[in-house]
Amino acid sequence: MAISCVWLICFLSLFLGHGVLDQLEASHIVYTNVETLQPASPNQTYRTSYHFQPPKNWMNDPNGPMIYKGLYHFFYQYNPNGAAWGNIVWAHSTSEDLVNWTPHDPAIYPSQQADINGCWSGSATILPGEKPAFLYTGIDPGSQQVQNIAVPKNLSDPFLREWVKSPKNPLMAPTSMNKINASSFRDPTTAWLGPDGWWRVIIGSKIDRQGLAILYRSKDFIYWIKANDPLHSANGTGMWECPDFFPVSTTSQSGLDTSMLGLGIKHVLKLSLDDTKHDYYTVGTYNLAMDRYIPDSGSVDGDSGLRYDYGKFYASKTFYDSVKSRRILWGWINESLSEVDFVKQGWSGVQAIPRTLWLDKSGKQLVQWPIVEIETLRTNRVDSPSTELKGGSVLEISDVTAAHADVEISFGVSEFKHADALDPSWTNPQLLCSQKGASAKGGLGPFGLLVLASNYLEEYTAVFFRIFQGQNKYVVLMCSDQSRSSLNQNPDKTTYGAFLDVDPSQEQLSLRSLIDHSIVESFGGDGKVCITSRVYPTLAIEDGAHLYAFNNGTEGVTISKLSAWSMKKAQIS
C-alpha cells in the first residue's frame, strides 16, 4: 500500500543537528581531541581516481542505493564537519552510470526527536507507484535506537533532492513489552512485499551473544508489528549490523526484485558482524508460511562462514537494478591508518567499486564482479602473449599507469607433482597466508601479481595463489599479502586470504585486480573470492608505482592471458 501523502507536504527539516551520543554504535568509535589535526586542505597523495569518495571528511556505511527515473542514487553515512566519525548525516550523490557522480545536499540529518542524536544506517524500498521510501535508524533523546521513515518531497524531481520525515516517527522502537535491546537495534533492510499483502523488514540486534534479525510486518508501511520470532538468529555471533536479505536465481545470473518468491529462487542473508568487522553471508531457503530463513546444509553462520570480501569491506548493501535486471553490491572500505593519521590527511573511508552479484552454478556461494560500466575508464590496453613464468622469476607489466590500473591475468598449471601437502590442521586461510606470504617459496606458488610495487621491490602488495595437495583433490589458496606494502610502519598491514573453490587441474586460475593509489580490489576464480586491501606505500606512488607478475614457486606456471589497462579518472565531485 502506498504511503499517505498528507504528512509529506507538512514536515520538512531544514536545519543540521549536531547531537553527540553518550552511548554510540558499537562499530563506530568517536575519537576525541583530533579535530585540531584536520588540515586546511586534504592530502591528495592516496586519494583514489575512480573509487567513490567525497572531497574530504569521514564516510562510512552505504545507505539506500537505488535507481529512480533512470538515475542511480547513492546515500552514505557522512560527517560534514571532519574526518573522524560523528555528526552523521545521509550524504547524497546521483549518477547515470555508477561511475561518475554528482553530489547533492544531504538527504536526511538530525531534526526530530526520533533522530535528534543521529541518523544512522538504513535502506531504500520502492513502494507501489514508483515511490521511494527510506527506513533508517535514529537515536532519540534517551539514546535509544529507533526506526524511522523519510520519503521524497517531490516525486517529479528525478534527483530526489528533498526528503520529508513522518511526524509518526519512530515507527519501531524498543519497549518494556517487546524485549528489544535498546542499544542494539539498528540498520533496517530493504522491505519485501509478500503475496499476502504484508510488507516485511528485518532489523539487526542481539541478546547477549545471540545475533538476531528481528522481523516486523506492516500493511501500510507506517504501522509495524513485531513478529514473535526473528527471521533468523545464531548463538555466539554477537551484534548483527547492516543485515541484507534478498532472493537470487538458481538458473540465471540476472538479479531479482527483493519481493520475488517461487521456484528457482534461493535467498541470501548477509550480516555485518560488529565483533569482527566482517560481512558474512549464508545461502538458504525462505519459508514464507513460517516467516523463517533456513540456511542450506553446509552454509555456516558466523565469521568462519562465507564472506563477500576477505579484506577491508564492511556494512555492505545491495539493491535491485530494475533497468538492467541485476543485483548490485556496495561496500565500505575502511582505513588502515590510525585515527590520528587519517584525520591529518583530511579524509577517511572509500566505497568499493559496485559489484554485480549472482549465485554460482554450484548453488553454494555467490559470485561477484565489478560492474561492467567501470570498463569505460579503461585506456591504453596492454596485452602479453602466452608465456611461461619460471620459478623464481618476475615479469614487469609495462606501459600502464600502475598507480591506477585494471589488470586481468590467468595462470595455467600442467604439472602438480611439486604441490606442497596440505596439513589437515590448516583450516584458517588468513593465518595460512600470513605464515606463507609472497616471500615464502613453495612448490606450486606463490604466483600472481605484485601491485603498487616500487622499482626495486622495497614495497609491494602481493596478490597470489598457492596450490596444495589435499586429500583426493588440489586446494587453491588466494592471498593478499600487505606485509611489505609500505616502508611506513604505521598503517595496518594485515595479510588476508581465502580458499578458492576451483580445480586447477581442470581450469585456469584467473585473477583480476583493480588498483587505485591506496586500494587493491582483487577477484579470484572469476569472482568466487574477493579480497580488498587498503595500502599506503611511500615509494610506489604515482610514477613510482610498478606492476609485476611473479612466481616464487619451484615449479613453472604459464601465463595464458594477460591484459592490463590504465584507468582514467572518474568524475566524482
pLDDT tens digits, one per residue of 255-295: 999 999 999 999 999 999 999 999 999 999 999 999 999 99
Q: 493 and 556: one domain?
A: yes
Q: 298 and 389: one domain?
A: no
List b or e across 102-118, with b for residues whose CB sees 16 or more CB atoms inside 10 angstroms: eebebbbbbbbebbebb
Q: How many Cα atoms are found within 13 Å in the side-chain-facing hemisphere of 520?
A: 35
Q: 326 and 385: one domain?
A: no
- List the catalytic residue out of 22, 61, 399, 481: 61
Q: 417 and 537: one domain?
A: yes
Q: 222 and 265: one domain?
A: yes
- Which of the listed residues 322, 344, 370 is the one where a domain comes to its end? 370
CA distance 389 to 109: 55
Q: 396 and 274: one domain?
A: no
Which 3 state secondary structure label does DSSP give 15?
coil
- Which of the listed residues 350, 370, 390 is the one where a domain comes to its end? 370
* Residue 439: C-alpha distances to residues 395, 479, 511, 533 (Å): 16, 12, 19, 18
Question: What is the reported pTM?
Answer: 0.92
CA distance 531 to 308: 9
Q: 321 and 399: one domain?
A: no
Q: Is residue 19 part of a domain?
A: no
Q: 477 and 430: one domain?
A: yes
Q: What is the pLDDT of residues 135-187, one digit of tens each?
A: 999 999 999 999 999 999 999 999 999 999 999 999 999 998 888 999 999 99
* Residue 207: C-alpha distances to residues 210, 235, 275, 325 (Å): 5, 9, 14, 38
Residue 521 has pLDDT above 80, yes or no: yes
CATH label of the domain that carries residue 85: 2.115.10.20
Residue 13 has pLDDT above 90, yes or no: no
Q: Is residue 497 part of a domain?
A: yes
Number of neighbouring beta carbons within 10 Å of residue 233: 19
CA distance 208 to 402: 48
Distance in angstroms between the alpha carbons of the first and the last residue of the chain: 37
Q: Which pLDDT score, from 0 to 100, does residue 38 have? A: 73
Q: Is residue 352 part of a domain?
A: yes
Q: Is residue 458 part of a domain?
A: yes
φ and ψ at 51, to 5 degrees? -90, 145
Q: How confident is the model at residue 41 (pLDDT cuts 50, 70, 90)?
A: confident
Q: 403 and 355: one domain?
A: no
- For 209, residues 6+ apart whose C-beta sits below 8 A from its C-beta are 235, 236, 237, 238
Q: Is residue 519 part of a domain?
A: yes
Cβ–Cβ under 8 Å, residues 430 and 567: no
Domain that holds residue 439: 378-567
CA distance 3 to 222: 8
For residue 461, which of 513, 393, 398 has the smallest C-alpha distance?
513
Q: Is 291 a catalytic residue?
A: no
Residue 25 has pLDDT above 60, yes or no: no
Q: Is residue 291 part of a domain?
A: yes
Q: 362 and 394: one domain?
A: no
The mean pLDDT value for 51-60 works out to: 96
HEC assignment per residue over 362-405: CCCCEEEEECHHHHHHEEEEEEECCEEECCCEEEECCCCCCCEE
Q: 358 and 389: one domain?
A: no
**Residue linked to cell 607433482:** 417
Is the bond preceding residue 446 a cis peptide, omega within 30 degrees? yes
For residue 539, which of 426, 461, 427 has the smallest C-alpha distance?
461
Q: How many domains does the chain have?
A: 2
The mean pLDDT value for 51-58 works out to: 96
Radius of gyration of the chain (CA): 24
Q: How confident is the model at residue 35 (pLDDT cuts 50, 70, 90)?
A: low
- Which of the listed residues 324, 348, 370 is the one where a domain comes to its end? 370
Q: What percent of the chain has pLDDT over 90?
A: 90
The mean pLDDT value for 352-373 works out to: 98
CA distance 393 to 446: 11
CATH label of the domain that carries residue 401: 2.60.120.560
Q: Is residue 561 part of a domain?
A: yes
Q: What is the pLDDT of residues 208-257, one digit of tens each?
A: 999 999 999 999 999 999 999 999 999 999 999 999 999 999 999 999 99
Question: Residue 194 has what DSSP assignment?
Answer: -
Mean pLDDT across the chain, nearest whole number? Answer: 92
Q: Which bin fits 332, alpha (ψ -120 to 50), beta or left (φ > 0)?
A: beta
CA distance 366 to 295: 14
Q: 414 and 558: one domain?
A: yes
Q: Is residue 406 part of a domain?
A: yes
- For 336, residues 6+ apart whose C-beta sits below 8 A from its C-beta are 312, 482, 491, 492, 493, 494, 534, 535, 536
